[in-house]
Chain A
């Protein structure tokens, strides 16, 4: 058991590419932390540096209070599960799981005992004498987990361990990983590009982009209070709709209609000296079929009319897609990156589509001119030039950074340029984050 501390850890490859840029993160003993981000954001490199498979260019890495920058992986007492599982094909499941103990010259009786125990936890007992080639994907994945468990390490590192499984198995194994971590109580760092895994698994989630941590926090906090456009767009599925808006006389003029600014929002914008041109973020789940909204709830939102292009019924709810002229005005760098990551830039799908997630009780049909309602209490307002969430600096009593517990800090680069940042803009130090 050990806590892991990254202190301004930087990775620069020999060709000069900066993969990880001064990342600082404290992972408490027994905590389950997820590193999530699009491909190329440096999350795997960060994990490899913790593992010792990559050198650290600058900064300090502490495991259990000792600096381990120059320690070989075998001296760090950590186990890793790889995306490809990396099982040794020429060894049986038993030998695979016992390999680390054998290298450590553990007595054979102890090895057998530990392997059998791990096999029992993972339901692998009847497969112990088979070779990896004869196992299914899910079984291989469990062997990879077992190989980490038998060592009883002070921390587990997982590099997208579920991404090679099919969708159904992935959901099962996700629960399994969570159960095992809770049972063993071992510190775990888990890398994924899948925001659903990130949201469901972790105690805390660190969203990364371009080698920097954008925001660290509990999954719900990232969802409710994203610090910038990138986090807002990355967390949540389907992702948040971004709509250009112009602030004028206490109203946001948007292609969806005019949204009156609430008092606290107006104050927040004033305090942040927000520009007139803004980006409004609305989660698909904040839309509703207007006919399903109770009359007394209606004033809390606005209604709009839209022709439904596509309607996807998920059973529990319905996704409605409609088009609005959004492209011009919404061209922040973060959004372009999100589009690339989601593949929207490749499929040529228009960025003009708005997604709404509405109740399954709706009677709307494709092609219909529908009346939709938007809950404006939950909208986010972003500064297009910095990507910062302006609505966050409202009356949530955000403490000054110095007063906040500093168990998690984004690197300075993750924050907006100094000139634009207000003192209270520290993106992660929010009072409702669980104190580790």
Chain B
């Protein structure tokens, strides 16, 4: 009986802790969602109680942002820049990871160290130098101007995850492919890459999420909606008049750009966890 009591109490304790964590995380998200359905007047509600849910639901904020190019265009930028960066990063990372996992070459440790260093680097310290460099090179406020840094920061993540996946593929498969007459390129494309496909999908999702969420480069390396991505564009929303706060539209836009992430996580939850923990446990 004592044991049963302990487990019962433990369950209760864990349940309470989990509920607290979920509430802490969920409240800001629900608050944003609620704000996005409020009229401008209700946003500034000062009543102590009853302001969490809109007293009057409205789609006006969504209608507003989805008809203005100051949100649609950044949304297209986000998708375009995200997809291109992801494609390039995964392509390069898979080759680099293959080399890291399979080949002994001089400077391998340096390469791994460098890529870890990049992943750890405080991004804010790069914002100003990159701003100057990109202005000199004419990359400022262009798609490549964001794609290049995104690839650079996506690569370490990609190399790390993919190298773990490649390591789990038995080396003998490659030897077998060689014996079957495959060139190294054929062995990679026909045997290794298909087997590492789950790893590549995982990497692609994680790199895409990184690009999609990125804010600092997006705001400091762009100046117009020609290349500004959605998260950065939110900051430039204005109200319908100088004296209206744009809180409603901003909330609506925040909800819109959150939706793809929620869908991704729901569908690829397992893959994402597998990617983050791959290599941690053998077998």
Contacts and interface: CB of A to CB of B under 8 A. Distances in A.
B179 to A, nearest CB: 5
A224 B274 CA distance: 57
A100 interface: yes
Contacts of B173: 86, 88
Contacts of B178: 52-53, 72-74
B209 interface: no
A79 interface: yes
A104 interface: yes
Contact of A99 (B172, B180, B183): B180
Contact of A90 (B172, B176, B195): B195
Contacts, number: 56
Interface string B166-205: 0000101101111111110010001100110000000000
Given A82-B172, A103-B186, A90 B194 contact: yes
Nearest to A79: B179
A80 B181 contact: no
Nearest to A77: B181
Nearest to A88: B191
A86 B175 contact: yes
A79 B176 CA distance: 9
B180 A82 contact: no
A84 B172 contact: yes
Interface in A73-107: 73-74, 78-80, 82-84, 86-90, 99-100, 103-104
A103 B180 contact: yes
Q: What interface size band does chain B fall in? A: 10 to 19
A195 B177 CA distance: 30
A51 interface: yes
Nearest to B186: A103
Nearest to B104: A14
A321 to B, nearest CB: 39
A88 B193 CA distance: 12
Contacts of A103: 180-182, 186, 190
Contact of B170 (A52, A80, A86, A147): A86
Nearest to B173: A86
A74 B181 contact: yes
A80 B182 contact: no
B179 A104 contact: no
B181 A100 contact: yes
Interface string A143-175: 000010001000000000000000000000000
A147 B175 CA distance: 14
A76 B67 CA distance: 66
A147 B172 contact: no
Nearest to B194: A90
Given A84-B172, A103-B186, A89 B181 contact: no
Contacts of A100: 179-181
B195 A80 contact: no
Contacts of B179: 51, 53, 73-74, 78-80, 100
A15 B170 CA distance: 23
Interface string A52-69: 110000000000000000
A86 B181 contact: no
A363 to B, nearest CB: 52
A80 B180 CA distance: 9
A82 B176 contact: yes
A78 to B, nearest CB: 7
B172 A86 contact: yes
Nearest to B169: A89
A79 B180 CA distance: 7
A104 B176 contact: no
27 contacts: A51-B175, A53-B175, A53-B178, A72-B178, A73-B178, A73-B181, A74-B178, A74-B179, A74-B183, A78-B179, A79-B179, A80-B175, A82-B172, A82-B176, A83-B172, A86-B170, A86-B172, A86-B173, A86-B176, A87-B176, A88-B191, A89-B195, A90-B195, A99-B177, A103-B181, A103-B190, A147-B180
Complex A-B, nearest 4 residue pairs according to Cβ-Cβ distance, in ascending order: A100-B180, A86-B176, A74-B181, A86-B172
Given A74-B182, A90-B194, 6 more contacts: A74-B180, A84-B170, A99-B180, A100-B181, A103-B190, A147-B180
